[in-house]
Amino acid sequence: MLFSSLTFVWFFLPALALIYYLAPGRKIKNAVLLIASLLFYSWGEPRYVALVLLSILFNYLFGLAIGKAGGRKGLRRAALAVCVGANLCLLGYFKYFNFFLELAYTVLGKEGFTPRNIALPIGISFYTFQAVSYIADIYRGVKPVQKHIYRLAMYISLFPQILSGPIVKYNELEPQIEGRRESISMHAYGIRRFVYGLAKKMVFANMFGQVVDRIWGLPLEQLGTAVVWFTILLYSLQIYYDFSGYSDMAIGLGRMFGFTYQENFNYPYLSASISEFWRRWHISLSTWFKQYLYIPLGGNRKGLTRTCINLFVVFMATGLWHGASMNFICWGIYYGIFIVAERLWIGRILEKNPCKALNHVYTLLVVMFGWLLFRAGSLHQAKVLATAMLVPRAGLWNLRIFMDNRIIFLLILAVCFCGPVQKRFPGLTKHLYDGEQTGAVDVAVMAGLLLLCTVLMVSSTYQAFIYFRF
């Protein structure tokens, strides 16, 4: 089930909200949310709900084992290692088995590789990382061992973020399971935030995605320079509005039921460096890797060389997390190179540069070439398209074929509202993301956007969500 579907918007969510607010007491409300979350996850692929339940039970038992080990550091470390390793092996089997097996065949020079029919469970990367967060937090003593399995089940399987994030750390959500308080203003804010995210997805991401997919389906060698640049621009906007829209919807849904999630995007296309871009893009993933990988590796505490190595390792892991493909790994390496280069010398140049606009141009160009690598189906495709972007050439298709008045209008709006308007009018951002006061104007805008999104959901079957692959 998708957030941007008629079933969810007009049936599942209203029914859940009604049952939830009629339910007496915190325990019953939590039970309603837990059952609804498992039903939501099992809607499209019921067989994989058993995998989620297995993950919950496994991490619960190992959490108890870490707690019983007490001050015996050896036992605690062994339990931590086995549990984290098992979580990563589970993720690795479904997500990376065929990739690494094919890679092994290539390295060994063997032929006859036949991939296994292994379907990727939706959201497995997100709930696996949340499970690892729980184990790591109780091992470090940040939070006590969870003795109530239903609370851990809620943390791992809560429906707003299980499929698409944001990645919620255990120490952030655990106090809210029993200690949260709902209110009419919070619920209204949650609806408002959900509708804004839905509009991002339906109006911008879906419209741009259809054009991008259409162009990408053509022979790439025959695309001209202008068409390729236009495609990458649209894709850059598509992935931003797609994922930030889903994050807004998840944050809004959480707020409807009393949960507060951290922001996942902070207008990343306003960034003036690649380091700043990654502080603004997919914030929950960046902070997860910082807390559970970068810092345990030593962070910046062991000298510049070790810091650079740690940063590079983190971004390689980031690339691998996004998918079992060489282009994702190269995408992570690509950003690792720029992050390290900014730490060593480019950062100083950017700071001293009197023309800050050039810093933004540099960042956007790096990011757009990065999205090309991200979107490409193979390194060969990425090479073909990158060459077309750098070496001017004519193509068989005129750019005007893909630029009708609707796309031009949406493109202008999308560029304006991906950060420039919010920077010019900071009060707008504060109202949208910080304030919980919902006025008559907000209600009118929400009603209009919801009507528009409903029309689009009825009239279109295009529902691609980029981050479902993760």
CA 445 to chain centre: 27
Strand positions, DSSP E, 272-393? none
For residue 167, what is the DSSP state? P
Count the neighbouring beta carbons within 10 Å of the beta carbon of residue 27.
Answer: 12
List Cα–Cα distances, 214 to 217, 232, 402, 460, 462, in angstroms. 5, 13, 9, 15, 12
Q: Give the Cα separation of 4 and 6 in Å (integer).
A: 7
Q: Give the Cα separation of 62 and 82 in Å (integer).
A: 9
CA atoms within 13 A on the CB side of 46: 2
User: 322 catalytic, yes or no?
Assistant: yes
List Cα–Cα distances, 139 to 90, 142, 170, 457, in angstroms. 21, 8, 12, 45
Q: Which residues contact 341 (CB under 8 A, 6 or more apart)?
A: none
User: Which of 110, 434, 408 shows the shortest CA–CA distance to 266?
Assistant: 434
- 282, 322, 360, 380: the catalytic one is 322
Q: Give the Cα separation of 11 and 3 in Å (integer).
A: 11
Q: Residue 392, preceding bond cis, omega within 30 degrees?
A: no
Q: Give the Cα separation of 187 and 194 in Å (integer).
A: 10
Q: Which helix (H) or strand (E) holds 73?
A: helix 73-108
Q: Give the Cα separation of 246 and 161 in Å (integer).
A: 9
List Cα–Cα distances, 80 to 69, 77, 87, 288, in angstroms. 11, 5, 11, 17
Q: Give the Cα separation of 20 and 160 in Å (integer).
A: 15
Residue 220 phi/psi, 5-degree rounding, is: -65, -30
- For the chain, state the CA radius of gyration: 23
Buried/exposed 254-287: b ≥16 CB within 10 Å, e otherwise? bbbbbbebeebbbbbbbbbbbbbbbebbbbbbbb
Give the active site residues.
322
